[in-house]
Amino acid sequence: MSKSPWFWVPTLYFTEGLPYFIVNTVSLVMLKDLGTSNGRLAALTSFLSLPWLFKPLWSPFVDTIKSKRWWIIATQLTIALSVAFIALTLSGLSLFVTIFLFAITAFASATHDISTDGFYMIALDERRQSAFIGIRNTFYRIAMIFGQGVLVFLAGAVEKYTENSASAWRITLIFTAFVLAALTFYHSSVLPQAESKPDAETGGSGGLLKNFVKAFASFFTKKGCFAAVLFMLFYRFPEALLMKMLYPFFSDPSSSGGLGLGKEAYGLICGSAGVAALLTGGIFGGIYISRHGLRRSLPVMALSLTLPCIVYPFLAFIHPESLWIVGSCIALDQFGYGFGFTAYIAYMMRFADGPLKTSHYAVCTGFMALSAILPGSVAGYLQEICGYGGFFMLVILSCTLTFTVTYLVSGTLDMREGK
């Protein structure tokens, strides 16, 4: 007898989200605490995002080698072991080895994304797929709060007792590895035995790869492709610069231009209140587009994404001591980003629509990953050159890129697009 999706969909998508935020947020906070400079910090953690950029390249092999269920269990076990090894070897090995272990986690996590989304479509019929979309998204976001908020807050709380950052992170990562291992064991028994049907038309992994190359090439023949690619690369450029320097700005002392706040404050403000504001902004953004259409919404959403960036020069020059003021500024920025980012997703869905829309949307998500990797890799070096005040002014100036690419793609949309 097959188990109800309620037994596995929530935990599976929580497990999909958690390693992503471990790699992209927890690693940044941990490496900063262990003394990595801002320049190297931003570059190295941007490098760790590469598996999500290139995952479409090996997705055909995940589709044809073993079952989706096998890949899910194997990648979850790999992630749990990698996180455990990072914890156990944290202070005894070089930065290179730590980054290598995080890279294994990232590769396994990106592969887990492929197998999880495929398994979801195999194990559930169309009616239940639609019914559980909200559930899977909710638990992915709970993983976001757990990774960016709870784990960072926990590391800060443990450090108060151990008075040692490495020990605090070791305990936090061991706890995380235990959670991941428990979820792996649970899924090994609760996931249904759902197998995909062989697709005779694909000709195995070679045929799938050939089809992907064909879809990738056809993407660049779509009308308005040049403007679309520029939009996908530069629309969120200001926020992509900011995201790598947010925790360094929180943790660096005021003498260095930072706020001098600890991990607990960061986890509470950015991992909890900030995430809640981000999600709320996304909900309102979807409602706004559905009422006004994508073309009319784009200028408003570009303003929403860019104007709140002004809170960072304010924080850098004023250095408020009140967590309420800092939290309000971060929540305002994250709400604006969530609201404005909705247009980005809606535009990608619109541009990918048509024949081969699944493959074309995968290419769009590759450009989305690249739009964060490119500015993120240089953000730390820019901050070291300009200081926090100068860096945040550069972020404000980069908002012109958002307005420029928004103008370029607005003319390609009709007035009712997205309603």
Mind listing the pLDDT tens digit for each residue in 43-77? Answer: 888 889 889 888 877 777 777 778 888 999 999 99
**Dist CA 186 CA 72 (whole Å):** 12
Q: pTM of the prediction?
A: 0.81
- Per-residue pLDDT for 204 more than 70? no
Mind listing the pLDDT tens digit for each residue in 120-159? Answer: 878 777 677 766 766 777 788 889 889 888 898 899 889 8
Give percent of the chain above pLDDT 70: 90
Mean pLDDT, the chain, as a whole number? 85
What pLDDT score does 134 carry? 64
Would you give the end-to-end CA distance of the chain in angstroms?
Answer: 42
- CB-based contact 268:153 (threshold 8 Å): yes
State the sign of the Cα–Cα–Cα–Cα dihedral 402, 403, 405, 411.
positive
Q: How many CB atoms lie within 10 A of CB 353?
A: 11
Give DSSP secondary structure letters for 328-394.
HHHHHHHHHHHHHHHHHHHHHHHHH-STTHHHHHHHHHHHHHHHHHHHHHHHHHHHHHHHHHHHHHH
**Phi and psi torsions of 337, nearest 5°:** -65, -45
What is the pLDDT averaged over residues 392-410?
A: 93
The lowest-confidence range among 5-19, 170-184, 216-230 is 216-230
What is the pLDDT averaged over residues 93-116?
A: 88
- Per-residue pLDDT for 19 more than 70? yes
What pLDDT score does 217 carry? 79
**Dist CA 227 CA 405 (whole Å):** 7
Is residue 74 classed exposed, middle or buried when 0-12, 13-18 and 19+ CB atoms within 10 A define those classes? middle
- ∠ CA 370-375-39, nearest 5°, is 125
- Per-residue pLDDT for 200 more than 60? no
